[in-house]
Amino acid sequence: MLCYVHLPFCDRICPYCDFAVEEFRRERVERYLRALRIELENARPQEAGTTSKLSAPKLSTLYFGGGTPSALGADQIAKLLADLFAHFGAEAGGIECTLEANPSRNVEDLARYREAGVTRLSIGVQSFDDAELHRLGRDHSGAQAEAFVHAARRAGHGNVSIDLIAGAPGQTPASFAATLERAIACAPDHVSVYALTIEAGTPYARWHEREPQAFPEDDAVADLLEQAHTTLTHAGYEHYEISNFARPGFECAHNRGYWRQRDCIALGMSASGYENGLRYRNVRDFDAYCTAIESGNSARDEVERLDFADRVGEAAMLALRTSEGIEDRDFCDRFGLDMRTVFSRPIKECRRAGLLEETRHGVRLTSRGRLLANAACAQFLHPSFLPAPAASGETTS
């Protein structure tokens, strides 16, 4: 079982951000943490026909996303971690536990995060170019980001990831090359590179409407993503998922579990989870989330039961995001299906368009397919032909 915990607080809201975020205010943090604890306690499955609670499932990974989880100080993170570990019967340091962190925040707490059980730090660097950081509305500099990564190492963090953005306003191949160079010089174990998306309703959407020429065009962003692939793979990072690169052995186990449709319990506003074939998302609004939990109700807003065809389509789509792609053997083991039969039409069409290639073990996206991944993956979401579900070896936890 994976566990995702959403910690929505940020010191200020970046103008391109469309995540479920809240400006940091002490009393709201305290209310939210109380609600999280209640949600966690209620998450324990109940024994059929009784009021007794069963023991919580075994946890394999824990992920604090946001928001800026490191906006909470070490004491709050340590207390929350202690509650989570006690609830799931896990031990600090015994499982992968990721904390997203902002380089402008709480550098003095890095050692205590680790002592509390954080085993993986994911740092929102975004760029090492100060002008780009300023336009992104970030409150750190490139030098601060470098200092934060080095401080994390000194504090004993052995698994450090950094996030970068491709397609920031004013970004050029030369400025991106400099960012990649400084990223590699910091020697992170893992690098995520996300294309900037202009989300409706954000200040960036209004800026983009007024001044589209301030933003790199789609082709230019695709070139930046190719540049990231070339530079990072040349530096020894494996491009193991569309947006993710890792030194061997440092792939994110939590995300790998998600791409394998592992069960994931989700806690916090807007968090989305998957348990026993149910995909769900908690309500996105802060007050609605806290009020629902405080009144003894569930915070789940959207709940969808995935039928067999949904699970097969989603499994293919998620697998395509990874460097292994959809593997014949794995698909047969999990679903009792021959994936080449089930997906014969999208495979043919994607191959014809140069988006997909065959490997010895299955099919995977080409470099062009990675750039057009949404279009390619969408074709696999709804399998057109499915025999009646065979006895399947698929497990979901």
Q: Whats the size of the chain, residue-wise? A: 397
Least distance in angstroms from the C-beta of 256 to ligand SF4? 23
CB of 213 to ligand SF4, least distance (A): 24
Total residues interacting with ligand SF4, rule: CB under 6 A = 11
**Selected binder of ligand SF4 within 43, 63, 67, 355 (CB under 6 A):** 67
Stretch that binds ligand SF4, among 8-16, 53-61, 106-114, 229-237 (CB under 6 A): 8-16
Choose one: 10-18, 56-64, 302-310, 326-334; the region binding ligand SF4 (CB under 6 A). Answer: 10-18
**Shortest distance, position 13 Cβ to ligand SF4, whole Å:** 5
**Residue choice 60, 61, 68, 106 for contact with ligand SF4 (CB under 6 A):** 68
Would you count residue 194 as binding ligand SF4 (CB under 6 A)? no
341 close to 312: Cβ distance less than 8 angstroms: no
CA distances from 263 to 36, 250, 396 (A): 19, 21, 5
Phi, psi angle pair for 23, to nearest 5°: -65, 140
Choices 17-25, 36-44, 295-303, 326-334 (CB under 6 A): range interacting with ligand SF4: 17-25
Q: Which stretch binds ligand SF4 (CB under 6 A): 14-22, 180-188, 299-307, 308-316?
A: 14-22
Contact between 124 and ligand SF4 per CB under 6 A: yes
Does position 122 interact with ligand SF4 (CB under 6 A)? The reply is no
| Site for ligand SF4 contains 38 (CB under 6 A) | no
- Interface residue with ligand SF4 among 1, 2, 21, 77 (CB under 6 A) is 21
Chain Cα centroid distance, residue 1: 16
Q: Which stretch binds ligand SF4 (CB under 6 A): 61-69, 154-162, 241-249, 294-302?
A: 61-69
By CB under 6 A, residue 66 contacts ligand SF4: yes
Contacts of 129 (CB under 8 A, 6+ apart): 142, 171, 175, 178, 179
Is 167 within 8 Å of 243 (Cβ atoms)?
no
Query: Of 179 and 231, which has the nearer Cβ to ligand SF4?
Result: 179
C-beta atoms surrounding 357 within 10 Å? 15
Instruction: Judge contact between 326 and 289, C-beta under 8 A.
Output: no
Residue nearer to ligand SF4 on the CB measure, 130 or 324: 130
Among 19, 194, 207, 308, binds ligand SF4 (CB under 6 A): 19
Report the b/e string of 10-27 with b at 16+ CB within 10 A: beeebebbeebbbebeee
> Least distance to ligand SF4 from the beta carbon of 246, Å?
21
What's the token pair of residue 187?
A: 């020697």
Q: For the chain, list the strands marked E by DSSP.
A: 2-7, 9-10, 22-23, 61-66, 96-101, 120-126, 160-166, 190-195, 238-241, 244-246, 264-267, 272-275, 278-282, 300-305, 326-327, 356-358, 362-365
Contact residues for 11 (Cβ-Cβ < 8 A; gap 6+): 23, 24, 68, 71, 102, 104, 105, 139
Nearest approach in angstroms of CB 67 to ligand SF4 is: 5
Nearer to ligand SF4, 36 or 342 (CB): 36
Q: Give the span between the Cα atoms of 271 and 65, in whole angstroms.
A: 9
Residues in contact with ligand SF4 by CB under 6 A are: 10, 13-14, 17, 19, 21, 66-68, 102, 124
